[in-house]
Each structure stands twice: as C-alpha cells, then as structure tokens.
Amino acid sequence: MNFTILHELEGRMRVRAHVYGKMTAHEADILQYYLIQHPNIKNAVVHERTSSVTITYKLERQPIIDCLLAFHFDDKANEELVPEHTGRELNCEYEDKLVFMLARRAVEKYLLPLPIRIIYTACKVSKYVLKGLKCLLKGKLKIEVLDATAIAVSFFRDDIDTAGSIMFLLQLGSLLEEWTHKKSVDDLARSMSINVKKVWKKVGDAEVKVSVADVNEGDIIVVNSGNIIPLDGIVVSGEAMVNQATMTGESMPVKKENGVTVFAGTVIEEGTLEIKVNAVSGGTRYEKIVHMIEESEKLKSALETRASSIADRLVPYSFAGTFLTYLLTRDVNRAISVLMVDFSCALKLAMPISVLSAMREASSYKITVKGGKYLEAVSQAKTIVFDKTGTLTKANPEVAEVVAFGGNDPDEMLRIAACLEEHFPHSMANAVVNKAKEKHLLHDEMHTDVKYIVAHGIASTINGENAVIGSYHFVFEDEGCTIPAGEENKYENIDVRYSHLYLALGGKLAAIICINDPLRDEASAVINSLKLVGIDKIAMITGDSDRTAAAIAKELNVDEYYSEVLPEDKAAFIEREHTAGRKVIMVGDGINDSPALSKADAGIAIADGAQIAREVADITISADNLFELVTLKFISDSLMKRIDGNYHFVMGFNFGLILLGVAGVISPATSAVLHNASTVGISLKSMTNLLK
C-alpha cells in the first residue's frame, strides 16, 4: 500500500494513506493494530477522517517505511490482530453527534426567522414540561421539575434566548455524560473480556490442547479447577463449583452438574467439567460485561452516592428559595435567578464522570478497575498484603534443577511433572511446563483424571500408581509419602535457596523440582514507595518455609510476614485487620489467593497469575511492573481529591450565583448561562487525566 510522508522529525513521522474514498473506522483499526505490533514502533495513532497516521518509532526509519509498504487491508492476518470491540466507532459516533448539535444550535439561533424560532423553541420546551409533569405525577420533586420550571418561566417571559441556551446546555451536558460513560464502560468491558487462546478438547478418550478457534459447536471441552470457562455450553459430565461473579454479581460459587448451562467468563473454583459447546465464539460475553458494569452498584463510590443523594435533596430547597426571594423582594427576575441555578445537575454529572474517567485512565496504565468503590478503597487503605510467589517474585520462575530419587531419570520425572502441571497453569506450573518444552520432552497424556487440591497440589494415577505433585505438606503429611530408603542424606542437602515442588509416585518421593524464583527487581523500591504514599502496614504472606520467608521479608523491609500459611489463613489476616478498623489491599496471583482477594476491600491480581485470581479480584494489573501499584494509589488519591474539590466548587459557585441573583447583580439569563457553563466546564475538567 502507498503512503505519503507529510511531516517528519527524528523518531516521529506523519503519513497519509492512499485509500479509495474515506477510511472506515474498521480499516483504521486494522492499520493501527498492524503498526503497533511492529517491534520498532513505540506508538501509532490512525486518524480515519484524514486517512493520516502519526508514528513514533525507535532506531532507524527504513524498517518503518518497509512495514508501511508491506501493509494491505485485505490481508487476513492483519484482520485477526483487531479485537472485536476497539471503541473507535463509538468515538466517531459521538464526535458526529457533537458537531451536529453545535451546528444545529448555530442555525436555530442565527439563521432561523424569529417566528419560526419561537415555534421551534416552544416544541422543545413542551418536551421538558411534559417530563417535569410526569415526575410530579409520580410524587417526586426532582431535577426534571426544576429544569422544566426554569425553561418554561424563561419562555413565557419572552426570553427565548435564555430558554434556548438552557436547553442547549442541558443537551450538551447530557451528550458529554453519555459519551464519557459509554467510552469508560467500553474500555473497561474490553479489558475484562476473555483472552483464552487454548482449550482442552475431548477427542475420543483423550484430551487434546487446541486453539479456541478450532472448537466447533457440539464439541466437548474439558475445564479444570482454577480455569476460566471460555465458551457457553451445557455440562455433559462432571461436577464443579463455579464462580459467576463477573456475570451475575453472586459472591458465592454455584454448583454445576450434568445438564446445567455454563457461561463464558465464569471460573471453576473446584472440580472438573466436560462441556458441550453451544456458542463457539462466546460472543455475548462482551455485552454481558457491559450490562453488568452499567447495572452494578460497584461503579458507585461512597462519595458518588453522597453527592447524588445531596443533589436530590437540594431540589425542594431551590424551589423554596425561589418563592422566599419573591415574597421578600416582589421581584420576579430575582426569584427566577434562584430557579435558574440548581446544584443537582453538576453534582450528578461531574461525580460519575470523574470516576469513569479515572477508571479509563487506569486502563491506560494496564490497570483494570471493576468499580469506583475500589478506587476509593485503595485511597483509604492503610494495610497492603502481598502474596510472595509470582507477586513479589518474578512472574517467570525457572526450573533450576531436578533432583531424582529412587533411581528415576530426572528428565522422565520432569516430563511427568509437566504432564500433570499443564492442566492447572500458575507461575510454578508454567516453569515446569516451559522447562520440559525447552528440553523437548514430549508428554502425551499418560494419566487418568487429574484433581487439583487448593494450596496443596495435584493428584492423579499413572500406570496404576498414585501420582502426586505439590507442597511438602501435601505430599508428605496429607498423602503420607516417604523418602526412598538410603536417600535421606540426599534429601537433606537439597539447596534451600530454591522453592521446591515434590513429585511422588506410588507413595515414594520420585523427584524434587528446584525452582528459582528471584524477587522482582523493583519489589523493594515499590514497598518503600507505598510507605511514602500513605500505606503504613505492609505484610507478606506465603506458603514457603519460615526460613525462606524471613530472609525475603528482611530484604524487602516489610512490616510483618507470615509463612507456611493456607488460603484460609490469608483471609483470616484480612478479617483481623477489618476488626481493627483498617481497610486492606490484597495483592496476589494464584488460585490459593482467591479467598483473600475476595475478602479484601480491594483485591488486586497480577495478570500473569491464575485466571480465577483475575476474575475474583476487583483490580487487575496487566503491566509486568509492581510500580503500577504506586500509580494506582496516586490515581485513587487524586480521584478522591477531585470528587471532593468538585463537590465544594459546585456548592460554592452555585450558591454564589444565587446570592448575586437575589441581590440583583446578575440577570436570570446570565445566571442560567453561568450555571450551565460551569456544569459543562466541571464535567469537561472531570474527563481529563488525573496524573500529569
């Protein structure tokens, strides 16, 4: 495809695409997603209206030019790069609506003859009056009544311009609110959408790992504990407890068994299901998420709720002030000046926009927040609890060594371990599976059904022998496995620097897989930064031995640490903090973190962790950097300051307008324009980013 370079600086160029006619929103998405996947391109912004592209790149310009010349809209590979929903069409729709609204206002105010303008305005006024009357008939005195009264009084006093201005500003504010709300919800829903690429498909008696795209309607897929259900379907075998919080808002898992329908996006907490697929794309998932977000009270922080409540309660006082002013002054203009000002509009408009805009801004840092109340919780929290593995340590641990026992071959033991662990992916399991791949150890399914025991390990049967892999507690204490005779000294000398996975076959220890799980480079700095931004208690909770946990706690300078704990112990710690009157943030990544993530005021999951942790958590951090926790704290604190500042500005500014109107300093028309302009102004400001 041909492009023309319009402007160029070092590391940046702006080009125009030679397309036939106007570039569509979908074509712009294809080009943008094609460009941003190029390793030398930092960022690319496609403007569909002008068919131009702004590219920021690193290194040399020639690879960028070659990349542009190689692009074709009809390439199916490029088409597959584009997500189902990108938000571009939504923005185009509302940009067009805004331009049309401004143009229509200019025409009706400056080009329509006065008689026609009066008739046109009267028709618009009647709509607001009817809406106000309906509200009154329901026995409610709300903002609709106040708006209708202000508009009607202006119109019947022959103040056509003021009536028209009030209606225009109300419509403009409504459009901006709707646009911001839909965009924020769209961004949030997109970030919450399923990103499952592989699934276990039943082929005869075997389970084969295939791409989701290769699953057809009627196929049977197998989903195990801790995994997300990627497609809608009906259970044909198995029994499981399924967490449906993202679909229904239910906090407790629901039992699913034969003949029951399950939905894409829900997560299996315990058990295994065989599901007959009846919706191959899981296409309704996005719409379900959008509906859940729009209906959920999770979007409302306590400050939002307070502002909305105050806004409704102030409407009767606005009417009372109007009548009182008239009784005292006998001046209609001064009385109407009070009527022209309402607190409700700005309070109800600016607060939700502030929250949704903050959630949108967080998503730009790869932080997904499921509701405004969680931003408020992060701002208020004084305690933060970290899981260790995969959270404070790097998300990509590696197998350092496989120590075999009982004469077993280390590679064969690694192959068996990978065969078991790949069914329940988490950071440690991924390390085992990746090491087997690295050594080209193929592991066809050799076992019977595998069962995951939360916070312990995996159990199955191989060649008629019991096979278990997991923690020391699970393998030796729960399962009663023993060390082969004569190898006790070998066991005692296992390197304690590593985390250990124990594999036992037939009740005997077969291998210890030593996993190197170093701390994240930024972990210590992040903990110090969190203390500087208001967190006064930082705890680490881990299932590791006390010796390992103590060393890490000292290195990171955490305030408290707890070792050799079970999932219920993590949740119990959070309960104790709640009893002490403290709000708590929990940061984790594993299946065993899900109870604590649910208990915390704000549960934060690391995106590379288990799917159930991401689904149960209130906030997900996709960026591979814990400093985004500090960014999240800054956004949360800034949001609370903005909401509080908006509240005080709305109350102060509008009260000032009322006083000026009562004193006769400003006219009703000026009062209305200033009030509505301030409402739009504070709403626009609320849409801006909180962080510079």
Alpha helices in 70-142 (DSSP H): 76-79, 88-110, 114-137
The CATH topology of domain 367-393+520-622 is Rossmann fold (3.40.50)
| 435 has pLDDT over 50 | yes
Return the percentage of the chain with pLDDT > 90, whole number.
35
pLDDT at 412 (0 to 100): 93
Nearest to 272 by CA among 424, 490, 114: 424
Q: What CATH architecture is 3-82?
A: 2-Layer Sandwich (3.30)
What does each C-alpha distance from 497 to 410, 548, 549 come to in angstroms? 20, 8, 11
**Mean pLDDT confidence for 94-107:** 92
Tokens of 77: 């590979």
Among 449-458, 604-613, 663-672, the range of highest mean pLDDT: 663-672
Cα–Cα distance, 270 to 223 (Å, whole number): 10
- Is the pLDDT higher at 36 or at 297? 36
- Distance CA(654)–CA(659), nearest Å, equals 9
Residue 453: predicted pLDDT: 66
* Protein fold of 398-516: Calcium-transporting ATPase, cytoplasmic domain N (3.40.1110)
Q: Which residues of the chain form CATH 3.30.70.100?
A: 3-82
pLDDT in tens, 419-433: 888 877 666 788 898
> Best-predicted range by mean pLDDT among 201-210, 373-382, 669-678?
373-382
Q: pLDDT tens, 189-212?
A: 665 565 566 788 988 878 888 877
Q: Domain 198-281 class?
A: mainly beta
Higher-confidence residue of 205 and 148: namely 148
Separation of alpha carbons 247 and 186, rounded Å: 16
Kindly state the DSSP code that residue 24 receives in the 8-state scheme.
P
Most confident range (mean pLDDT) of 95-109, 149-163, 416-430, 663-677 is 95-109
Cα(683)–Cα(675) distance, rounded to whole angstroms?
12
- Please list, in sequence order, all residues whose beta carbon lies within 8 angstroms of the beta carbon of residue 399, skipping any fewer than 6 positions away: 414, 431, 432, 434, 435, 513, 514, 515, 516
**Using one digit for the tens of pLDDT, what is the confidence trace for 110-128?**
899 999 999 999 999 999 9
Residue-level pLDDT at 139: 84
Residue ranges matching CATH 3.40.1110.10 in the chain: 398-516
| 230 close to 196: Cβ distance less than 8 angstroms | yes
Domain with CATH 3.40.50.1000 in the chain: 367-393+520-622
Q: What is the pLDDT of residue 678?
A: 84
What percent of the chain has pLDDT above 70? 87
pLDDT digits 0-9 by tens, 243-290: 775 555 454 677 888 998 888 778 887 788 999 988 655 444 555 556
pLDDT of residue 314: 78
